Structure 1
Amino acid sequence: MSTSRASLTLTLLQARESAMRFFRPQLNLHGLTEQQWRVIRILRQHGELESHKLARLACILKPSMSGVLVRLERDGLVRRRKLAEDQRRVLVSLAEKGEQCFESMSVEMENNYRRIQQQLGPEKLLTLLELLQELKGIKP
């Protein structure tokens, strides 16, 4: 008789969906996709980044990142520039409108984090974040 083990990957996806229910209404209000918001948030946190590093940090495949950046640049939220010494390398930074977007959304996004913390409790949320950080670091 085999025992059924809970699926880590499925549980993580389901937990992500539960968490995103707090944030999607705000994203929709600003006309942003989840991927676009991740890019804005990472650029706000790290400053200008090479597009391949940005893709890795945002967990967006490089081909998809290209489309995300085209739309963000079209909407005036990010700027892209090629390095003079290597035209293949592209640096991405937040434009002023992207900074303003982040600022206008940050209060409500922080309120959503508070709502999650109220339901989980501060200790459980901290433990969850620590365990997820640890999980990110394990090697196959």
Structure 2
Amino acid sequence: MSRAPRSTERPTTVSFAHRNMPLLLLQTRECVLARFRPVLKAHGLTEQQWRILRLLMETGPLEPRQIGQRCAISSPSMAGILARMEALGLVVRERLAHDQRRLRVTPTASSQALVQRIAPRIDAEYTAIEAQLGATLVATLLATLDEVMARLGPAAEPSEDAG
């Protein structure tokens, strides 16, 4: 019969050959997002809502599956997020004429205006990050991230902590 370790017992330590890349990427993500959260919060948007609106503004209407893949949001989460965004008047979900099982998500005129209002503040944060890190490091970082994604291939269904 096994017993649970007591709180005073020290867990066994394990030595890994590599640094924890997923954790470092998450910690970096948090450092970057901390710059943008106040802007989004001031406009009543969540990070996921912003990712979706920005994507739709850059690409035009998409299906929920496409949005989830590009925004790293799981299918179960996507359904709820889009329902809330529709209730808030941020997006419209319409059935495709040629296939009633499929939906197309389009930003509303009011969300397009909202994105236009937010864009200068978002760009200002990018400018501040570039000033702090240097243009060369930012360019190298973006190119490196693009290359890592290209070499590792498309991600599987996003996990909840990717949202």
> For the superposition of Structure 1 and Structure 2, which TM-score range results when normalised by the shorter chain?
over 0.9
Unaligned ranges ≥5, structure 2: 1-14, 154-163
1:139 to partner: Cα distance: 3.1
Q: Counterpart amino acid of 1:59?
A: A
Of residues 79, 87, 96 in structure 2, which corresponds to 1:83? Answer: 96
Q: Counterpart amino acid of 1:56?
A: Q
Query: Is 1:50 equivalent to 2:49 in the alignment?
Result: no
Matches of 2:33 and 2:16 in 1, distance apart? 31
Structure with more helix by fraction: 1
Deviations 1:73-124 (A, max 9, x none): 1111111100122111100111101101100100000000011101110000
Matches of 2:152 and 2:17 in 1, distance apart? 24
The corresponding residue for 1:7 is: 20
Query: Is 1:105 equivalent to 2:118 in the alignment?
Result: yes
- TM-score for the superposition, normalised by structure 2: 0.82
Give the greater-gyration-radius structure (CA): 2
1:4 to partner: Cα distance: 4.5
* Identity across the alignment (%): 39
Matches of 1:51 and 1:60 in 2, distance apart? 10
Matches of 1:67 and 1:101 in 2, distance apart? 21
Matches of 2:68 and 2:101 in 1, distance apart? 15
Query: Is 1:123 equivalent to 2:136 in the alignment?
Result: yes
Structure of higher RCO (CA pairs closer than 8 Å, 6+ residues apart): 2
Q: What SS does the corresponding residue of 2:58 show, helix, strand or coil?
A: helix
**Which consecutive segments of 4 or more residues in structure 1 shift more than 3 A?**
none
Matches of 1:120 and 1:75 in 2, distance apart? 37
Unaligned ranges ≥5, structure 1: none
Deviations 1:28-55 (A, max 9, x none): 1111110000000000000011111111
Closer, same or farther: CA 81–5 of 1 in aligned 2, 3 Å: same
Q: What SS does the corresponding residue of 1:5 show, helix, strand or coil?
A: coil
Deviations 1:17-38 (A, max 9, x none): 0000100001111111100000
Matches of 2:46 and 2:128 in 1, distance apart? 21
Matches of 1:103 and 1:52 in 2, distance apart? 25
